């Protein structure tokens, strides 16, 4: 006996079959997709720098937690303070989960503070997490027992400048807080500034990353003293080192500093673009598991790289807090940044 379904029944049966097929495909999507793919991990700097070391460290461990265990292929893409890599990630790279990045921490704030060259939207960034927040520090020779954050409005400090934060931050702190900081420009690297300190050409350096510093041979020596730190809060390993935020003279100064230091708050963050939700969830889960992996943490410790992870949600909260600041605060921060050029 043959039972003929009415036309409406045939349509319903077809819809159910399609949904069932899609459900099965969806269940296999993440593992099936990644098992046949390699994932590019874009690094926004040249080899051997801090971002390169963190990027390659994660690349060596995260694949075992991604369904399908794809190969992870690091690719250095330096330029424009991380903007070149970000423009590529969010405009050119495949939007299927096969490209992720470690982003320079200024990237989500560039659109707000210095949009030149920026060709991406912050709303299009999908965060995976951060290996750790960053702390920027100021150092003087250990033989200098007198220079301290609380006396820098009266006591001059001559600091070396090699571009980036070693140029930016002394100018900002001098202009905003009235600290007596004078910069000697022309050094090619932070190591050159350290050598200049040994030769007594300069008396200190402001704006070196704490993790990178203590991971270096010179940083592990007793030749230098940290006189203050810059960030949204005190670093866990520097509980007794003064925080610049604490010497803000009013709420306006504090809010401007929070804008300038927000990038340190998100630290060494990894992200991808707007990809299918299941793949994004898989990558975030893989990142979280990597941060807890004993082999990963052991290698990080061996390399002198800090692991104190932040979730995607924590990164998003920091970014949202900056974009919610009053217009006049953002404008003041923007004007400070314009002095860096």
pLDDT of residue 339: 59
Q: Are residues 125 and 180 in the same domain?
A: no
Q: Are residues 144 and 123 in the same domain?
A: no
Query: What averages of pLDDT result for each successive group of 10 residues across the chain (341 residues)?
Result: 49 44 54 96 91 96 98 96 96 97 96 94 98 96 96 97 90 96 92 94 95 83 95 93 98 98 97 97 98 98 92 98 97 83 46
Q: Are residues 150 and 241 in the same domain?
A: yes
Q: Are residues 196 and 254 in the same domain?
A: yes
Q: Are residues 238 and 297 in the same domain?
A: no
Q: Are residues 118 and 181 in the same domain?
A: no
Residue 340 lies in a domain: no
Q: Are residues 121 and 182 in the same domain?
A: no
Backbone angles phi and psi of 221, in degrees to 5? -80, 175
Domain of 115, in residue numbers: 37-133+267-310
Q: Are residues 112 and 257 in the same domain?
A: no
Residue 15 lies in a domain: no
Q: Are residues 41 and 128 in the same domain?
A: yes
DSSP output for 103-121: EPTTHHHHHHH--TT--S-
pLDDT of residue 6: 55
Q: Are residues 184 and 279 in the same domain?
A: no
DSSP output for 38-84: EEEEEESS-TTSHHHHHHHHHHTTGGGGSTT--EEEEEE---GGGHH
pLDDT of residue 16: 44
How many domains would you assign to the chain? 2
CATH number at residue 181: 3.40.190.10
Residue 330 lies in a domain: no
User: What is the rounded distance in angstroms from the CA atom of residue 97 to the CA atom of residue 34?
Assistant: 9
């Amino acid at each position: 006996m043959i039972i003929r379904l009415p036309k409406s029944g045939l349509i319903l049966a077809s819809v159910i079959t399609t949904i069932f097929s899609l459900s099965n495909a969806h269940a296999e999507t993440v593992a099936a997709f990644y098992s046949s793919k390699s994932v590019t991990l874009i690094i926004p700097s040249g080899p051997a720098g801090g971002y390169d070391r963190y990027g390659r460290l994660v690349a060596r461990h995260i694949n075992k937690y991604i369904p399908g265990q794809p190969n992870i292929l690091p690719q250095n893409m330096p330029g424009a303070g991380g903007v070149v890599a970000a423009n590529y990630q969010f405009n050119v790279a495949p939007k299927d989960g096969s490209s992720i990045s470690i982003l320079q921490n200024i990237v989500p704030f560039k659109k707000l503070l210095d949009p030149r060259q920026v060709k991406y939207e912050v709303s299009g960034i999908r965060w995976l997490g951060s290996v750790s927040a960053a702390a920027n520090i100021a150092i003087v020779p250990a033989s200098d027992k007198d220079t301290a954050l609380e006396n820098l409005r009266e006591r001059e400090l001559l600091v070396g400048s090699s571009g980036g934060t070693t140029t930016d931050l002394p100018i900002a702190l001098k202009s905003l807080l009235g600290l007596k900081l004078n910069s000697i420009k022309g050094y090619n690297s932070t190591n050159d500034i350290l050598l200049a300190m040994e030769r007594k050409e300069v008396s200190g350096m402001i704006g070196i990353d704490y993790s990178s510093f203590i991971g270096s041979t010179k940083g592990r020596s007793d030749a230098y003293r940290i006189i203050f730190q810059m960030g949204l809060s005190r670093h866990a390993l520097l509980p007794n080192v003064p925080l610049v935020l604490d010497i803000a003279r009013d709420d306006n100064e504090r809010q401007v500093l929070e804008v300038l230091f927000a990038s340190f708050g998100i630290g060494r963050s990894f992200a991808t673009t707007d990809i299918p939700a299941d793949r994004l969830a898989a990558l975030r889960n893989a990142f979280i598991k990597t941060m807890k992996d004993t082999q990963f943490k052991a290698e990080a410790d061996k390399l002198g790289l800090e692991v104190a992870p932040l979730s995607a949600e924590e990164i998003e909260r920091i970014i949202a807090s900056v974009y919610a600041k009053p217009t006049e605060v953002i404008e003041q921060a923007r004007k400070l940044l314009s002095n860096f050029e």
